[in-house]
């Protein structure tokens, strides 16, 4: 029997325990319509989803199906056209300062060191200098860059740049992380390493995470639940609980028959959406 098979009871117990956690983000019959000079179109429609505090949710679907729209509404960057989006049980009015946003794009300023880049959100918040230095040192250690604070972005590898960007987000202590394909542009080996490191950080910090990806394997490896989107308009067609025990051994998981079964089940739902898109 595989290590995954022997952990079924623990995983089920963990899932039941997770159900008792309060709701961090909720979408109730949410829709969003955009109007351009040429047309009006519905990006997402009828979204019903609740994300519990400390939960790791992966959202997957074809390009342009509204996955990023969902994140932008949680961040307060967009308002819904219909329905209700709540954060900690309250409507989101304006920018949500309790979330951190990590994207595929590099956000570090090339003329500032890693330490000073990570410190930037705290400077904007006018956090005292001594506290800034302490918090920056803490998050750089957390992401494994404690020895690289004096380096410039041009002196870092692609993986280090992503970890520095994550540190810059974590430093102001958001309770929720919105991650929009953060590893999408990286090669397979580097992406796998960053997936593992991100989960290690999440295991310690237990932030609420909404993680958008195009990679089905990535979603299954990382998530507590995988939310599958359809397109035209963007909508949720399935939510799959991922009950593999944590911490997850990527090597064992990727070769386990149950992992393959979950992948096949989700691909059967996802593939027609991509063909029709």
d(CA 254, CA 261): 11
* DSSP 8-state class, residue 5: G
Sign (positive or negative) of CA dihedral 266, 269, 272, 277 = negative
Helices 188-205, 129-142: axis angle to 10 degrees equals 120
Reported confidence tier of residue 277, pLDDT bands at 50, 70, 90: low
**Whole-number pLDDT of residue 8:** 39
Does 20-98+176-276 carry CATH code 3.40.50.300?
yes
pLDDT over 80 at 14, yes or no: no
Better-scored residue on pLDDT, 12 or 242? 242
d(CA 259, CA 256): 5
Window from 57-61, 172-176, 180-184 with minimum mean pLDDT: 180-184
Mean pLDDT of 79-104: 94
**Whole-number pLDDT of residue 276:** 60
d(CA 80, CA 29): 10
Task: Decide: helix, strand or coil at residue 184.
Answer: coil
pLDDT per residue as tens digits for the range 186-209 = 778 888 888 988 999 999 989 999
Is the distance from CB of 29 to CB of 63 less than 8 angstroms?
A: no
d(CA 182, CA 77): 18
Q: pTM score, two decimals? A: 0.87
* CATH 3.40.50.300, the chain: domain bounds: 20-98+176-276
Q: What share of the chain in percent tops pLDDT 90?
A: 67
Average pLDDT for the chain: 89
């Amino acid at each position: 029997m595989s290590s995954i098979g022997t952990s079924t009871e623990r995983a089920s117990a963990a899932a039941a325990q997770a159900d008792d956690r309060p709701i961090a983000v909720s979408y109730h019959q949410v829709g969003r319509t955009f109007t351009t000079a040429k047309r009006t179109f519905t990006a997402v429609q009828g979204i019903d989803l609740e994300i519990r505090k400390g939960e790791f949710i992966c959202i997957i679907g074809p390009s342009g199906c509204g996955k990023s729209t969902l994140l932008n509404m949680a961040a307060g960057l967009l308002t819904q056209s219909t329905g209700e989006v709540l954060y900690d049980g309250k409507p989101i009015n304006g920018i949500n300062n309790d979330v951190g946003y990590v994207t595929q794009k590099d956000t570090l300023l090339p003329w500032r060191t890693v330490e000073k880049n990570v410190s930037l959100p705290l400077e904007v918040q006018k956090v005292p200098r001594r506290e800034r230095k302490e918090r920056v040192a803490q998050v750089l250690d957390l992401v494994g860059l404690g020895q690289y604070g004096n380096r410039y972005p041009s002196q870092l590898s692609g993986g280090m740049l992503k970890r520095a960007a994550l540190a810059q987000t974590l430093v102001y202590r958001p309770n929720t992380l919105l991650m929009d394909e953060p590893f999408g542009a990286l090669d397979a080996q580097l992406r796998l390493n960053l997936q593992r490191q991100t989960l290690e950080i999440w295991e310690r910090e237990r932030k609420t995470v909404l993680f958008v990806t195009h990679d089905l394997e990535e979603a299954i490896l990382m998530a507590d639940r995988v939310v599958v989107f359809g397109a035209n308009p963007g909508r949720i067609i399935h939510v799959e609980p991922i009950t593999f025990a944590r911490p997850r051994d990527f090597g064992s998981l990727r070769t386990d028959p149950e992992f393959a079964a979950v992948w096949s089940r989700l691909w059967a739902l996802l593939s027609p959406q991509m063909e029709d898109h």
